[in-house]
Structure 1
């Protein structure tokens, strides 16, 4: 053993080298500029290669030019104060910009239409109550949620009708719908259509999936007929043919006819969207509900429909946005909505200036964008809120 150990011995140096150990903790070094900060974001997203750099530079220059043109027209060369077209006439040595004086002078007409000036406070109260009720309904975690829904869908429509139409017994003079107009009509029609179309669409979607032939065929007819014709045709049919299905002594208001047409037009599209959501629900959900002893309606109300509507939220929001914009077609049947009020005001000889029409349409675009973008953002927020359980 001694011989073996002596032959396999390793000669170690007399003194081992010293190892340096850092005793002081160093601070974290910043990430390279190529990976962090604004410079890193630009490199990753805009200037990653030659083609992306070229496209980014061209796009930046185009957006800069477009922004400058809009700013020059809407702000720098705009006319903000004036009483008639003379304020927005061409001046030598200055480019002609937007005539915001026209918007300021006709703003009341854009909002209220021909509604009596002394009674416009009723419309203002309607706007305020509508904003309060809508805010409570859209607040997902609001307290007293059931009470708020009851107020929104039962109490508020009655109060709104009394305020806008009037009730002489309460001291509110009657204002017929032919004097309604402007943004008020747009909000009324869009609000009623959005609120009423979804439940009707759900019923039609369930009816189309029914095993009863009569119910299924009737639902298919109510879905396919509005989807097969333009909205203008639906409005004409509602305006001319709806009274034919009612008793002779019943003659609904033309605004009511338009509401019926727009509601069923939107409900037809929503029915197919909801039906797509229903088809996306696995069969196991139905089987589990049956195993728990739930009937058809309870299964739909508490298990299937909540999941189906969650799947269909983006498409439902898109239909609602389209419905809000489609209110501009009400002029076809003689109802003056927001865009119709601008169209009527811009041809007034008092404001016959070169940029009045462009200014009116620009103002309409801004108003429509605010409402539609707001609905889009809330739809995205709701979609993210409902999908939290799936984001692991």
Structure 2
């Protein structure tokens, strides 16, 4: 029998250095194995997709990189290319003022819409980002009136009168909203219209002749500027109108409820292009005979009505998603209808409705190109009309339409990214 009394177990005094993981478990190799080649079907789809992408890029990239930027006509572009594949981007450098500002907007006044576009970011920032100082809302308040004066020019008395009407309407709304939300809202609208009607007689007839800014008619506006004007204006107006329609559809007053129901269902059942033809041909008959309502205003009215009906349904879905206890909690706190909606119900409903509202806003912005069918020369109307009809550039399609698509993609993608950021900020998936 062996003696084991002197046997001592060995204990290591230092740890073994940590070994690096296998190469297949780190970096790009791991990502590709897990995402692109996780299984045989995934590997086949990855290879097929890579081949399709390569085939597309092999044809598109040489066409882009061989593009001609300096030429006066399409024929000159083809002479420079000399039979090689390449784009004729010279049409963009030659006609970019028409694509952006339209055909007839005065070239010496391009600074005005450019300044209005820059101010748009300062006006939208305090509304879109909560961390900014609330004092910046003063820019948002005055922006619509400043922009109107910059774009249309003429006498400054018109935007001042418009601002005075809104102030009067707000004061009347604040006075009567405590008793009834409907009374405050409609009272404010009536007060604003009275101020505008009376103020119209106070503006002298020749006020535009001595104006600081040169007057520009709506028919002289076009290009992508017109799309931006219609998109920003109609989205800004349709959201509050959609909220009112959604609340009206849930109202306990039968008359208010059925007016909102009929309006929403009728507008949603009619194509937008039909409403645009109505705005172009028939809407003027609904105004006084002596009034000449601008086509831009008529189009804004119809597009706003169209988008407001869809936004109303999205917000109604957000209202229906709230539990009944939220309404009961507002009642238990002794809040009236306006206070309950402003402080408890609408903040939660709008938070839920963000994806739907943004979806409608993006679709509305793209639908502004339909105004080209009623002879409004937006960017698509400029391409289909004056540019392609000219002998110098007849036959240039991909370059012009690709440029228009790029502008719309950048704008819509920016809206989409802001929507996703706002959803993460408000945590709409955790109520």
TM-score scaled by structure 2? 0.82
- Deviations for 1:111-149, whole angstroms, at most 9, x for unmatched residues? 1112011122212221221232233432231112xx433
The count of corresponding residues between Structure 1 and Structure 2 is 375
1:102 aligns with 2:143: no
What corresponds to 1:284 in structure 2?
325
CA distance in 1, matches of 2:26, 2:347: 42
Residues 306 and 12 (structure 1), Cα distance of their counterparts in 2 relative to 1, 3 Å cut: farther
CA distance in 2, matches of 1:115, 1:193: 22
Residues 91 and 160 (structure 1), Cα distance of their counterparts in 2 relative to 1, 3 Å cut: closer
- Please identify, of 188-197 and 297-306, the stretch whose mean Cα deviation from structure 2 is larger: 297-306
What corresponds to 1:20 in structure 2?
10
What corresponds to 2:112 in structure 1?
122
| Contact persistence 2:358–2:415 (CA under 8 A) | yes
What corresponds to 2:202 in structure 1?
none
Task: Provide structure 1 residue ranges, at least 5 long, that are not aligned to the other structure.
Answer: 1-10
CA distance in 2, matches of 1:26, 1:14: 29
**SS in structure 1 of the partner of residue 392 of structure 2:** helix
1:164 aligns with 2:148: no
Residues 301 and 30 (structure 1), Cα distance of their counterparts in 2 relative to 1, 3 Å cut: farther
**SS in structure 1 of the partner of residue 397 of structure 2:** helix
1:346 aligns with 2:388: yes
| Contact persistence 2:122–2:139 (CA under 8 A) | no
CA distance in 2, matches of 1:119, 1:13: 107
CA distance in 1, matches of 2:55, 2:389: 31
Residues 284 and 33 (structure 1), Cα distance of their counterparts in 2 relative to 1, 3 Å cut: farther
Q: What is the CA-CA distance between 1:19 and the residue it aligns to?
A: 2.9
- Please identify, of 356-365 and 235-244, the stretch whose mean Cα deviation from structure 2 is larger: 235-244
What corresponds to 2:46 in structure 1?
56
CA distance in 2, matches of 1:215, 1:34: 66
| Contact persistence 1:205–1:274 (CA under 8 A) | yes
What corresponds to 2:223 in structure 1?
182
CA distance in 1, matches of 2:263, 2:17: 70
1:369 aligns with 2:358: no
What corresponds to 2:298 in structure 1?
257
Residue of 224, 231, 235 corresponding to 2:272: 231
Residues 318 and 12 (structure 1), Cα distance of their counterparts in 2 relative to 1, 3 Å cut: farther
Residues 64 and 213 (structure 1), Cα distance of their counterparts in 2 relative to 1, 3 Å cut: same
Residues 270 and 100 (structure 1), Cα distance of their counterparts in 2 relative to 1, 3 Å cut: same
1:151 aligns with 2:139: yes
Residues 205 and 13 (structure 1), Cα distance of their counterparts in 2 relative to 1, 3 Å cut: farther
- Please identify, of 279-288 and 121-130, the stretch whose mean Cα deviation from structure 2 is larger: 121-130
Q: Once superposed, what is the RMSD of the aligned Cα atoms?
A: 2.1
| Contact persistence 1:110–1:183 (CA under 8 A) | yes
What corresponds to 1:88 in structure 2?
77
Highest CA radius of gyration, 1 or 2? 1
CA distance in 2, matches of 1:209, 1:363: 44
1:382 aligns with 2:370: no
1:111 aligns with 2:95: no
CA distance in 1, matches of 2:319, 2:240: 15
Q: What is the CA-CA distance between 1:185 and the residue it aligns to?
A: 0.7
| Contact persistence 2:351–2:426 (CA under 8 A) | yes
Task: Provide structure 2 residue ranges, at least 5 long, that are not aligned to the other structure.
Answer: 155-207
CA distance in 1, matches of 2:2, 2:277: 104
What corresponds to 1:321 in structure 2?
362
CA distance in 1, matches of 2:130, 2:60: 38
